[in-house]
Structure 1
Amino acid sequence: MGNIILLDEHTANKIAAGEVIERPASVVKELIENSIDAGSTRIEVSITDGGLAEITVSDNGFGMDARDAVLALERHATSKISRASDLESIQTLGFRGEALPSIASVSKVNLKTKIKESLSGIELVIEGGKILKESETGCPPGTAIRVSELFYNTPARQKHMKGPAAEAGHISDVVNKFAMGYPNISFQLTSSGRVVLKTSGSGRLLEVIANIYGPNTAKDMLPIDTQNEEGAVFGYLGKPFLTRSGSTHQTIYINGRYIRSRLITKAVENAYHGMLMIARHPVFVINIRTSPEEVDVNVHPAKTEVRLARTGALEEFITRAVKVVLTGNRLIPTGNIGPAKVANVPQESSKQEEWKIPYPQVFPAGRVCEVPLGSEYTPPKEFAAEALPETPGIQVPVEFPDLRPIGQIECTYIVAQGSDGMYLIDQHAAHERILYEKYMEKPDAFIASEQLLFPVTLDLTHREAQLLNDTIIVFTDLGFVVEHFGGESFILRGIPAGAGKDGGKEIFLDLLDYFSQNRYTISNKALREKFLITMACRNAIKANNKLGLPEMESLLAMLAQAEQPYTCPHGRPTMIHFSGYDLEKKFKRVL
């Protein structure tokens, strides 16, 4: 007698449930997908004890008649596809026909549904995958599914659930993702009697973002809406100073389906290159529209992983689209002058107040580094070389604010007047950005070697010495001349031109540390860029350096010509804006 048997349907459903239904949030995800596919404009989710005790998802969609309601509990019964070829152009969120039977096999389910044309609905009571009761009932058009005692018949799975608070958090994340992906649908999430989320269904994505992340986050988001032959990308991008330490605030959709994609995340973050602080990640919500034939969603039962047909073209398109938005907007943080109320829905201020200070008046705040007009002043050597011809005013592109310097605070921050308020500019960060972009235009000019009159001995650890022996050619290409001196010692005989006689050793050791930490993930091009950033930082005008008004004008004029003038290469902001209207409110000139 053979050993292989055909599993019964109940057992097969429980096995499938292990992949499809991992936790209460999986139930909510699958049921919301069904509601969206049913054309719902209102979806309500109610949970008790984090969904471990009970989950109810109700909608106002098409509903089902008695035949379809019973058939929907059969494995691989679906209205989304009818043949294998349909898998090549999936246009719905669900299609596998596994969600309802998987949920029903590991819980107790009450299903009520009604189509618009029917006078009454149908109610099904299911336990462990078996229909215990089928009857007519009165209910509104749409479908309401109540799932109780999840995993009651799989104690091993139930044992590994987190607490109610943690599971409720997972469910909240799921509903938030759907709300941002479908702002035209009204969502409501109620947890143990408390309304956690409620959206209007107005179709305004920024309103949903404000509802979920808060208005202070929403007001620093930029709209993106671009399309070409590759497809379209639309949504909102956080300004470079709006960052998180992880990727939890990065939301990606393809054709309305929430997905996780390292490729698309990388494409977006590449556009932010040079604008972000180290180990920080931008906030964004983007939806990519492309031909369904270009996307394979039949990869995993959870349907959050996809395979793309033309990854290179799509990645390039997304990076280019995001970069156009970032470079086409003023990315200047707004200074906070004391506590301020923020509107529920971010919108442009209707009041644009002009305020002027007679030029050239020195701003008398803090330790002012005043340089009267006509006085002698010698700027630092490396800064003087960058100075532009003195001009009575600064002519700048439209995208960059028209700034007129007034003075300095702490010999570190330039105070400038603009048509829309006051600006504080970090002189070191601004000059660092200017030098970095200049170096990147002709990187080889700054990597020629200069011989040291007095060679420097480098005493390294064994690990550092091994690394340098293996990769010494990399440092040679950057302009360093290094020779092994025996053991863990090396002689530094030459440094890159412009590194400075006293700074060559520090730059070398910094790069060696950086290369050691990122050896297997960094390219030679990235290491060279890191080197140029270090050079720009060292050669930029420092804090506590006194500048005259002509030098301030020159610095701001050069910054206005930069490709990314609003952040230094490390991602720090170069300037902060204080609106004239906010200043007037602070001085009680307006109410």
Structure 2
Amino acid sequence: MSSIINLLDEATRNKIAAGEVVERPASCVKELVENAIDAGASAIEVEIADGGQSYMRVTDDGCGMSPEDARKCIIRHATSKISAVEDIFAISSLGFRGEAVPSIAAVSHMQITTRRPDDDFATHLLLDGGEITSEDQIGAPVGTTMEVSDLFYNTPARRKFLKSERTESSKISEMITKLALSHPSIAFTFTNNGRTTLHTGGGGELKETIANIYGAALAKEIFSISHDDGDIAIEGYVGKPSVLKSTRAWQTCIVNGRIVHNPLIFKAVENAYHAMLPKSGYPFAMIHIHMDPAAVDVNVHPAKTEIKFADEQAVYRAVYHSIITALVAQEKPEDIATNIDMLPQQIQRREAEEEALELKEQTAAPPAQAQELPFEDLSPLPQRRADAVQEPRRMPVWETRDVVTPVYSRQDETGRTAARSSANTYEPSRSSADDWDAFSRELASKGQAAQDDAPVITFDGDEDVFIPLGEVADCFIIAKKGQDLYIIDQHAAHERIRYDKFCRRAEKMPSQQLLTAEFVEVDGDDMTLLLERPDVFADLGYTYSEAGPSTLRVEEVPCDLPTSQIADSLEDICRALHENDAVDKAALRHRSLAYLSCHGAIKAGDALNIRQMKQLLEDLFHTDKPYVCPHGRPIIVRFTPDELAKLFKRT
């Protein structure tokens, strides 16, 4: 009986082993760049074509190799990083297995050009499937150049699982970005299809490298962290809680110069920012951890991105407390608090309110003559005067009458009322000017009492009626129905009204073509999604095209979406796709509608009068789910007489 156990040949073993190290082009770039770093390079250049599938080149100015070492480096488990088994328990280099170059060579056409400072000529090797086909001496600068062509040409099963060119290029760019952040003293240059997309100076300053990669604007929104207890030293930068991204692309963790993916560290970052984030997302974090190599096990996986700590809790505490300490130790903590509590749109509205109040104090008539215009609501009110004095503003063409926004007023020198509103207002038609004048005169003559005496609203034939009693903190409406007391969140209520209105429209989100295209800056990961899945965004009402490496030219957007919210709305959809790549269109439509409903609704701080409260409650109780907003938060809290009696210890 013949043996059924086969001894695989060297070529087959190399291809199998290569699958663990070389997952995609980004894996090749990572391994080759780490070898360059270990070689003491001060400048590293990376060039790719077609997402790395057809060509990759990594050039460094490191120590180089002798002809003999050049031939040895393609032999599996040949390495200069360790020499004995004891060395693996305290590894200080990035590479040590001796598998990267042989694995890459086994599944590609490869060229190696290397020269030491004392050598007159460089060694040049040509390899095909891991076998040397040519060797000669050529002229070349000191250092090493590794060129990889036709990756996975002899393993088509692996090649067909590669993503699009843009996706693979994005992965490589992200990897080089993190490598540059891990070694700010090295100058990195990345060229993609002949165009240089990344360059760092290599000056050694981490913040300067961050500015080179992410831009000076982001560098102004971060602050340093530090920690040193003798066993664990931490340095780096974290961002303000308002600086968020839809993925973890802005979170980089470096342990002894090695890029790692450790859930424990990411959890420490999230917990440190707990309850400080104004919306869902991941804050910026660039964390360098220095500790005894013997306390870290990097020999977990051939990719060397997974590590284990001897004392995980100590690392968790060090990261957590370093971030917490940095957050509370800022010279101007109120700046951070502002960003936490209010989104940019809310900040803009608050500034507009303060400016309006200041103008009113300077120009308004005596208090007895002062008149405040009503807050616009969903009811068919007469529109504002077309010739009202307004400040210049950019206004999307799709803005409609049902958008609820505060209107402030003052009297100009002629006694006319000048209306001033935030960005989400409608453009009044001149035909309604007389109606508006009549409405304003009626309010002026009858005063607020006329509004308070307006007919109460009955819902769906119910014998009880909802009677608004007032408002608390310009946010919560207090109302009664029968003997029960109700507290209504005005923002959540209007959010539900808008959401139901949007849902009654066609299955495909109605869109509005912009008069002039808007140019939106997006990051690499989101740009990849936007260009690879245009059908998904088209169903949500967006039409766009690529205007640059990180710039999108937006031509159509969903109706009622202000131009100021285009970037945030696209980022929110991309975040949903990042969280679940298989998310269905119905879920995306719900998320997009919920976003539109939220950002166009009444905000906390927008004062309502009694008539507007009544109108809001009437519209709310004609929705499908008046007790919960589209995000699942409660809208109404009810107190019965018995519950109130218990609160006052009467039972």
Class of the TM-score when normalised by the shorter of the 2 chains:
0.5 to 0.7
Report Cα offsets for 1:355-404 as digits up to 9, x if no partner: xxxxxx9961469999x99xxxxxxxxxxxxxxxxxxxxxxxxxxxxxxx
- Distance in 2 between residues matched to 1:64 and 1:33, nearest whole Å: 15
Corresponding residue of 1:298: 299
Is the 8 Å Cα contact of residues 230 and 313 (structure 1) preserved in structure 2?
no
Corresponding residue of 1:205: 206
Corresponding residue of 2:122: 121
Corresponding residue of 1:15: 16
Write the mapping of 1:268-307 to structure 2, written as runs, cut at 5 A: 268-307=269-308
Is the 8 Å Cα contact of residues 53 and 149 (structure 1) preserved in structure 2?
yes
Corresponding residue of 1:421: none
State the one-letter code of the partner of 2:52. G
Q: What is the CA-CA distance between 1:270 and the residue it aligns to? A: 1.4
Report Cα offsets for 1:476-498 as digits up to 9, x if no partner: xxxxxxxxxxxxxxxxxxxxxxx
Q: What is the CA-CA distance between 1:274 and the residue it aligns to? A: 2.1
1:303–1:369 distance in 2 versus 1, CA, 3 Å: farther
Write the mapping of 1:256-405 to structure 2, written as runs, cut at 5 A: 256-329=257-330, 330-331=332-333, 332=335, 364-365=358-359
Q: Which has the higher helix share?
A: 2
1:8–1:242 distance in 2 versus 1, CA, 3 Å: same
1:327–1:131 distance in 2 versus 1, CA, 3 Å: same
Is the 8 Å Cα contact of residues 411 and 545 (structure 1) preserved in structure 2?
no
SS in structure 2 at match of 1:167: helix
Report Cα offsets for 1:499-556 as digits up to 9, x if no partner: xx946999xxxxxxxxxxxxxxxxxxxxxxxxxxxxxxxxxx966499xxxxxxxxxx
Is the 8 Å Cα contact of residues 261 and 305 (structure 1) preserved in structure 2?
yes
Corresponding residue of 1:215: 216
Report Cα offsets for 1:441-492 as digits up to 9, x if no partner: xxxxxxxxxxxxxxxxxxxxxxxxxxxxxxxxxxxxxxxxxxxxxxxxxxxx
Corresponding residue of 1:251: 252
State the one-letter code of the partner of 2:59. S
Corresponding residue of 1:132: 133
State the one-letter code of the partner of 1:256. G
- Distance in 2 between residues matched to 1:55 and 1:319, nearest whole Å: 39
Q: What is the CA-CA distance between 1:141 and the residue it aligns to? A: 0.9
Is the 8 Å Cα contact of residues 231 and 290 (structure 1) preserved in structure 2?
yes
State the one-letter code of the partner of 1:206. K
1:21–1:362 distance in 2 versus 1, CA, 3 Å: closer
Corresponding residue of 2:557: none
Q: What is the CA-CA distance between 1:11 and the residue it aligns to? A: 1.4
Gaps of 5+ in 1: 339-360, 374-409, 413-500, 507-540, 547-569, 571-591
SS in structure 1 at match of 2:113: strand
Q: What is the CA-CA distance between 1:198 and the residue it aligns to? A: 0.9
Gaps of 5+ in 2: 345-354, 368-405, 409-483, 490-603, 610-632, 634-651
State the one-letter code of the partner of 1:12. R
- Distance in 1 between residues matched to 2:136 and 2:62, nearest whole Å: 21
Report Cα offsets for 1:379-430 as digits up to 9, x if no partner: xxxxxxxxxxxxxxxxxxxxxxxxxxxxxxx899xxxxxxxxxxxxxxxxxx
Runs of 4 or more, structure 1, over 3 Å off, are 365-370, 501-506, 541-546
State the one-letter code of the partner of 2:155. T
Corresponding residue of 1:417: none
- Distance in 1 between residues matched to 2:203 and 2:9, nearest whole Å: 47
Is the 8 Å Cα contact of residues 199 and 213 (structure 2) preserved in structure 1?
no
Is the 8 Å Cα contact of residues 230 and 314 (structure 1) preserved in structure 2?
no
Is the 8 Å Cα contact of residues 121 and 137 (structure 2) preserved in structure 1?
yes
1:364–1:118 distance in 2 versus 1, CA, 3 Å: same
- Distance in 2 between residues matched to 1:147 and 1:186, nearest whole Å: 22
Greater RCO, CA 8 A, separation 6+: 1
Identity %: 43
- Distance in 1 between residues matched to 2:11 and 2:20, nearest whole Å: 15
- Distance in 1 between residues matched to 2:77 and 2:232, nearest whole Å: 31
Is the 8 Å Cα contact of residues 40 and 61 (structure 1) preserved in structure 2?
yes
- Distance in 1 between residues matched to 2:157 and 2:201, nearest whole Å: 40
Is the 8 Å Cα contact of residues 61 and 144 (structure 2) preserved in structure 1?
yes
SS in structure 2 at match of 1:364: helix
Report Cα offsets for 1:192-218 as digits up to 9, x if no partner: 110011111011211221222222111
1:218–1:369 distance in 2 versus 1, CA, 3 Å: farther
SS in structure 1 at match of 2:157: helix
SS in structure 2 at match of 1:39: coil
1:17–1:545 distance in 2 versus 1, CA, 3 Å: same
Corresponding residue of 1:156: 157
CA RMSD, Structure 1 to Structure 2 (Å): 3.3
Corresponding residue of 2:145: 144
1:225–1:67 distance in 2 versus 1, CA, 3 Å: same
- Distance in 2 between residues matched to 1:28 and 1:130, nearest whole Å: 21
- Distance in 1 between residues matched to 2:356 and 2:139, nearest whole Å: 77
State the one-letter code of the partner of 1:310. D
Is the 8 Å Cα contact of residues 230 and 317 (structure 1) preserved in structure 2?
no
- Distance in 1 between residues matched to 2:71 and 2:140, nearest whole Å: 17
- Distance in 2 between residues matched to 1:102 and 1:503, nearest whole Å: 69
Is the 8 Å Cα contact of residues 174 and 249 (structure 2) preserved in structure 1?
no
- Distance in 2 between residues matched to 1:368 and 1:545, nearest whole Å: 24
State the one-letter code of the partner of 1:313. A
SS in structure 2 at match of 1:276: coil
- Distance in 1 between residues matched to 2:485 and 2:363, nearest whole Å: 28
